[in-house]
Amino acid sequence: MFENIEKVLQRYNQLNSLLTEPEVFNDPKTYTRYIKEKNEIEPLALTYQAYKGFVNDIESAKQLLTAGDDDIKLLAKEELQMLERQKESSENKLKELLLPKDPLDSKNVLLEIRAGAGGEESALFAGDLLRMYLKYAEKRKWRAEILSENTTGIGGYKEVVVLIEGDKVYSRLKFESGVHRVQRVPKTEASGRIHTSTATVAILPEADDVEVNVRPDELKIDTFRAGGHGGQNVNKLETAIRITHIPTGMVVVCQDERSQYQNRIKAMKILTTRLLTMNTEKQISERAQDRRNQVGTGDRSEKIRTYNFPQNRVTDHRINFTVYSLNTILSGDIDEFIDALVAFYRANELAHVISSQ
């Protein structure tokens, strides 16, 4: 481990030297490239530099323990204990910095929410989840735009797709994928019985244009009139778009915008992002499951999180983490869950790094 980090420190020192040379300073392209590389390796290089300093200081303190009077030995012993703690802390930080970084963490995302088991109640719950994530995005100062929605007559959602843009959106939301379960008395329940329903959430990293190459001959594009609730046509023009990706059979429908052009742009955004996710999952199977496994079938037994209204409780079953402030969570204050999930998976990665040394 330290042999590789030593090379990083050497490169860091070399970059510092290169950045002072006139020919580099006067070449904006090279200068920018070197600055970017330096910033990327600086945390690891400086932490390792501090670690080496603690190691050297420990050796000096040990030498004082075998020489000098009793007072010096006592001071050396106390200093040695402090240095050992600092060395251990630096070593732990080094291991943390060596954890593999997810190349998708900085990406925007498509948030997809679908009603699962539970009929109309599951559609209402999908709406609750949508509002929760929209409020969370607002608190993080992210931009959220609904790209596609299929609503029910009483305010629920059979399906909704949202583009969320901002700083490191995927890094914060990627663990939200899965089956979310709600336990409550539905608005449609006259007898007051508690029902269990589900909705599925998928977090897909947004595709850049250069990342997915979709040829025109791979697409079947149909236009039709946008429909309202109950199936009635609300537009005399064929503004709605249905795009079928022939090689995969993937279908995307957008009809929320007034123009065919706008619906087409949104549909292509959804399609390319889904294709990127599919391709990435094939290439990095140990990091992600395919999209179908990611969200499951919507069955109640596959839940990752439960929202229990009678107990005012929200529980994440992956990490056995519970809070008793359901209304606060549904108001978008979900950082407590996200931080716990990030810490849990980061600890697992760190344990893997340590065991492989």
Q: Which residue numbers in the chain have pLDDT < 70?
A: 1, 68, 188, 190, 208-212, 227-237, 280-302, 350-357
C-alpha distances in angstroms, 303 versus 103, 317, 346?
A: 27, 8, 22
- Cα(308)–Cα(314) distance, rounded to whole angstroms? 6
- Cα(104)–Cα(172) distance, rounded to whole angstroms? 11
**Tell me: the pLDDT tens digits for 62-83?**
888 877 677 888 888 889 999 9
Helices 28-65, 2-18: crossing angle, 10 deg rounding:
130
**Tell me: the pLDDT tens digits for 163-195?**
999 988 999 999 999 999 999 998 767 677 899
Domain ranges of the chain: 2-97, 109-346
Find tokens 């009603």 and name the residue: 115
* Beta carbons within 8 Å of 127's beta carbon, 6+ residues apart: 155, 156, 157
Topology of the domain covering 109-346: Alpha-Beta Plaits (3.30.70)
